Amino acid sequence: MLLTGLAASTVYREFFDSIVRLATSEEYSYIIVSLFSMVITLYLSLRYIGFSYGVRLSKIIFATLLALFSLALYSVSTSLLEYKIQLEGLSFSLFFISLILLVYEPVTPGEIIPLLTPFLLIPLPAGFVDRLTPLLSRYIGRIAGFLTGVRVVEAPGFTQLEVPTPSGEVARFSIEAACTGIVTLSSIISVIPVLIYMVTFSSDKPLRKTIVSLTSIIISLLIGLLGNLIRVLLLVYGAMYMGVQQAETLFHYSPSLVYSFLSALIAFYLVNKYARFPPVITKALAKHTARDVSWEYVSGVFVVAAFFTLIVLALVPITTTASSVQQALVVNPPSIDDYVKNPEKYLSTTTIAFTGKQYDQYLTNVLGALAVYRVEVVSPTGIYQGYVEVVDTTARLHTWQLCLTVQGFNILSSWSSVVNNTRIVFIALEKGSWRGLLGYVILPVTLKVGGETVNMYTRVSLEAPGDPTTLAVSLTSVFANMTAKLVGSGSGVEAAITGVQPITLASAVIFAMFIMYALIVYSWVLIRKLVKR
């Protein structure tokens, strides 16, 4: 617990801050269900399995290498900002698992499942959400339009309902991620490990186990999808008879988390009711620890934990230093709101000017960003159209590849380059006779407001027609000028990362070799057992 708290308050502090922010949004509110699922699974593991206090060199080495490998993933997250939160979550999960392995020793496949529950805290990548949402919104919109008789407007990137209002006007409602049931889908994914765990320890035959688990999941999915469909129907009928503002106030922001929790509870209820579980005695009670375990044996666990703690305490300052010196645009606005409303004021340089800023309310709502602006960038190499997105965590940044595809663009190629220690992504596009290039860069921004320091992220995306190869050179110079203002993009970052890389790379290689060795040994033992039978 001490090491977990230390890691959460230092190295993984940004990850947990982002998790709290994401859990309050519609698309990622399933994280609350994930936390519920994780607690239930760990509770069952303690109740039915118990801990194993055996001290073996192989277990110690494996846990140590796993912790070092998690550090390797954390160092990668500082440069791959698109998946920063996901990589930090994966890093924390592996670190947490390494701590569990010090006192926990799975024997059967069912006992491995509790080790997988920390992965439920990792937010789904925005690309996964982006691929499901258009498909779900299309069917939800068609069903809602059929039941209410309103006109359905479908475009490659969105689905809208044209609803007549009491004033005689026609209002358009977009079927966004909150109304598609994607939260329900994500929540069911979150509770699947618990269902598998419960079914694993059931005494029923495999066919009955499969039927019970699949039935519970399907019914839960239907409840969630129907709940979100009813939500859309209430919004449409509310707008038809009460007006748009009243309908949005009453129905649009009703938390879909209610449907998710209801679906999860029904899944648990069905498994509990129709799956039979034999009484299980924990390992701690099954083994007469008072007779078989001496104080020297148990004290070895504390020695291992103390040694592991010293290693982590030595590595935390190095990792924290690498994170703290990460390059960022440091600004001193009068308030946080000033930067959110006027990011161009802080992004402009002596040779690059952001003009024609227009706030895009629709994209701000759909993408879940703090603010999205359409901008025009004037530079010595030309004038470019683009977007500026201000977010509090990179997990809110949706993928450009899918956004362009649903708009009818054909992606010819995609590549990246590094300028001023900042990754720039280029996407070559084609649509009919039009051909061009889109490039974007994600800028970490540190706001110093009074005595408070706030971390944000800003993605600047620029596009222009023409030859992609020629445009890449021009856009690179624009982004290079823009990222030259970043603080910490020099020897400080390189020195910190240089101090971490030898440890992380070596641990990653050794960890991979250890896994290969374990798989070979386990496979050989399994083959010998099968041959004897």
- Residue 478 carries which side chain, given as an amino acid letter? V
Burial profile 192-222: b = 16 or more Cβ within 10 angstroms, e = fewer: ebbbbbbbebbeeeeeebeebbeebbeebbe
The pLDDT of residue 149 is above 80: yes
Binned at pLDDT 50, 70 and 90, residue 390 comes out as: very high
Binned at pLDDT 50, 70 and 90, residue 70 comes out as: confident
Question: Which letter does DSSP use for residue 177 in this model?
Answer: G
User: How far apart are the C-alpha atoms of 228 and 478, rounded to whole Å?
Assistant: 44
Binned at pLDDT 50, 70 and 90, residue 499 comes out as: very low
For the residues 228-248, what does the mean pLDDT come to? 82
Pick from 171-180, 205-214, 435-444: least confident: 171-180
What is the share, in percent, of the chain residues with pLDDT greater than 70?
71
| Highest-confidence segment of 1-5, 185-189, 529-533 | 185-189
Pick from 207-216, 219-228, 390-399: least confident: 219-228
Q: Quick: pLDDT tens for 393-452.
A: 888 888 787 677 666 788 888 898 888 888 899 999 988 888 999 999 999 998 988 888
The pLDDT of residue 8 is above 70: no
pLDDT value for 476: 92
For the residues 68-87, what does the mean pLDDT come to? 80
Enumerate the domain spans of the chain. 1-120+287-323+490-533, 124-276, 329-483
DSSP states along 464-484: EES-HHHHHHHHHHHHHHHHT
Stronger pLDDT, 513 or 445, i.e. the higher one: 445
Q: Quick: pLDDT tens for 282-327.
A: 554 444 444 444 444 444 444 555 555 555 555 555 444 444 445 7
pLDDT value for 428: 92
The pLDDT of residue 171 is above 60: yes
pLDDT value for 343: 92
pLDDT value for 160: 80
User: How far apart are the C-alpha atoms of 498 and 510, rounded to whole Å?
Assistant: 19
pLDDT value for 514: 56
Binned at pLDDT 50, 70 and 90, residue 359 comes out as: very high
CB 6 within 8 A of CB 13: no
| Highest-confidence segment of 36-50, 150-164, 235-249, 344-358 | 344-358
User: How far apart are the C-alpha atoms of 135 and 146, rounded to whole Å?
Assistant: 17
To the question of pTM greater than 0.75 for the whole model, the response is: no
> Token pair for residue 418?
């590094």
User: How far apart are the C-alpha atoms of 159 and 183, rounded to whole Å?
Assistant: 18
Pick from 82-96, 216-230, 468-482: least confident: 216-230
Furthest C-alpha separation in the chain: 84
SS3 73: helix
For all residues of the chain together, what is the average pLDDT?
A: 75
For the residues 467-492, what does the mean pLDDT come to? 79
Listed in sequence order, the residues at least 6 apart from 495 whose beta carbon sits closer than 8 Å to its beta carbon are none
Stronger pLDDT, 302 or 164, i.e. the higher one: 164
CA nearest neighbour of 76 among 322, 367, 248 = 322
Stronger pLDDT, 184 or 229, i.e. the higher one: 229
Pick from 53-62, 95-104, 123-132: least confident: 53-62
Where does residue 334 rank: exposed (0-12), middle (13-18), buried (19+ CB within 10 A)? exposed
CB 441 within 8 A of CB 459: yes
Binned at pLDDT 50, 70 and 90, residue 459 comes out as: very high
For the residues 181-196, what does the mean pLDDT come to? 72
Stronger pLDDT, 177 or 170, i.e. the higher one: 170
329-331 and 434-449 as β-strands: parallel, antiparallel, unpaired? parallel
The pLDDT of residue 340 is above 90: yes
Q: What angle is formed at CA 127 by the lines to CA 121 and CA 130, rounded to 5 degrees?
A: 110
Stronger pLDDT, 353 or 187, i.e. the higher one: 353
> Token pair for residue 502?
């030898």
For the residues 156-183, what does the mean pLDDT come to? 74
pLDDT value for 291: 44
Q: Would the CA dihedral through 516, 517, 519, 523 be positive or negative?
A: positive
What is the share, in percent, of the chain residues with pLDDT greater than 90?
11
